[in-house]
Chain A
């Protein structure tokens, strides 16, 4: 986006509010919706990827060592990863204010 959304006037919008920039939704921060965030205990993680498959966002990716981590810019804190983790490696902790 050329400007932040709070600076866009009605005259700036494309006809039919069409979005002409592919992938611009990736700039939309949904991470500030959450009241709790996932924290992975790497000693229990078996790198099975179930959290990655279940994440509805989907904001979980693999790091260089093969562990799965949520991208907190997008994570809404739903807790599905924590609920589905077969080794209970993911704990939801309250988001700091």
Chain B
């Protein structure tokens, strides 16, 4: 039977990697991800898991080692954060275009400079176009469950894409929470053995990561994009199967208090849990506010977002990242693009906050919603407002 324990989300991810029987972990420690690979290195050293732990000299090397090990057919895991994800950047594209089902946890962190080790989503948002499946866990239980699902999704013969599991740095990664761990017997058969169709093998030589001249490159990108968009069905099926077997199911977007919406707050990551406290308070006052949060980020859940936001008059999007020199926050930018072609469009306004580890309280979410409604009722003159910034 599953055990209820108190555990840090980082350790819960390590427990899931152990249960999934990962064979190779190649990682470089970086805050706030460190506890994940620290725990895994202990498990390898103590013989709790039969895996090779490759200590590398950088994150670029970590992802390169993961590409190699996944290519020979080994179940491969790594974890990183912030600057580490950016140092991996070029290899992220190699992993996805080679269709290698690496699983990586990212404890989302601000990007330098100034140097800041605390949480925001600048790192994943700068890597959003790298061709990986990307989704978010909002607490320790989700981190555990969705790590297990990540291996099953990534290695499915219909998928074969790397999966990035995002958790907010510190607010999720370092928080000890109650959660249910699954036992090995319960998990039996959930993650089938990994079989890459063309593993690197001297008995059947293949070329991976080959060169594609202009006459072929367009075809390769089209094939990659169609395949990534095509992973949706499997992601949904795996999350449903997990729910059917273990009682906790996951969806591309989650909605909270959806009845008779007037204003919808949209977010991604753990701050949406804080925001839902504000939603409850406002609902108690009779205000028609709704929370919609994305779990799936890539492939972007266009149909679910369109359905969830249909009929709303006002949509407020909360981002924990600024697209420098661009339209504001990346989530809002994509929400707007998802709705642009719709006949009936809500008014949309963007708030940015929670940068570099700054807390956002339920009260601030209440103020944000009130302020957003006020702005949308008058003439909108700016792309976004920044929450809590000292003017």
Contact = CB atoms under 8 A, between A and B. Distances in A.
A20 B205 CA distance: 7
Interface string B204-234: 0111101011011011101100110000000
A19 B204 CA distance: 11
B197 interface: yes
Given A10-B226, A22-B205, A16 B215 contact: no
Nearest to B95: A16
B197 A17 contact: no
Nearest to A9: B219
A14 B197 CA distance: 10
Contacts, number: 55
A18 B222 contact: no
22 contacts: A5-B215, A6-B215, A8-B216, A8-B219, A10-B220, A10-B222, A10-B223, A11-B223, A13-B219, A13-B220, A16-B97, A16-B100, A17-B98, A17-B220, A18-B98, A18-B198, A18-B206, A18-B207, A22-B205, A22-B206, A22-B207, A25-B210
In terms of DSSP, what is the predominant structure of the interface of chain A? helix
Given A14-B198, A16-B160, A18-B98, 20 more contacts: A8-B219, A10-B223, A13-B219, A15-B198, A16-B97, A16-B99, A16-B100, A16-B198, A16-B208, A17-B97, A17-B212, A17-B223, A18-B206, A18-B208, A18-B210, A20-B198, A20-B206, A24-B207, A25-B207, A25-B210
Nearest to A22: B205
A18 B224 CA distance: 12
A13 B197 CA distance: 14
Contacts of B198: 14-16, 18, 20
A5 B215 CA distance: 7
Interface of B: 97-100, 160, 197-198, 205-208, 210, 212-213, 215-216, 218-220, 222-223, 226-227
Interface residues of A, number: 18
Contacts of A5: 213, 215-216
Contacts of B220: 10, 13, 17
B100 to A, nearest CB: 7
A4 to B, nearest CB: 9
Q: Chain B CB within 10 Å — which of A8, A11, A17, A22 has the most?
A: A17
Nearest to A11: B223
B219 A15 contact: no
Contacts of A16: 97-100, 160, 198, 208
A81 B205 CA distance: 32
A19 B98 CA distance: 11
Contacts of A12: 219
B219 A10 contact: yes
Nearest to A7: B215
A20 B208 CA distance: 9
Contacts of B208: 16, 18-19
Interface string A8-47: 1111111111111010110000000000000000000000
Q: Chain A CB within 10 Å — which of B160, B197, B219 has the most?
A: B219
Interface in A49-93: none
A52 to B, nearest CB: 25
A17 B210 contact: yes
A68 to B, nearest CB: 28
A14 B207 CA distance: 11
Nearest to B217: A17
Nearest to B211: A25
Contacts of B227: 15
A16 to B, nearest CB: 4
Contacts of A15: 99, 160, 197-198, 227
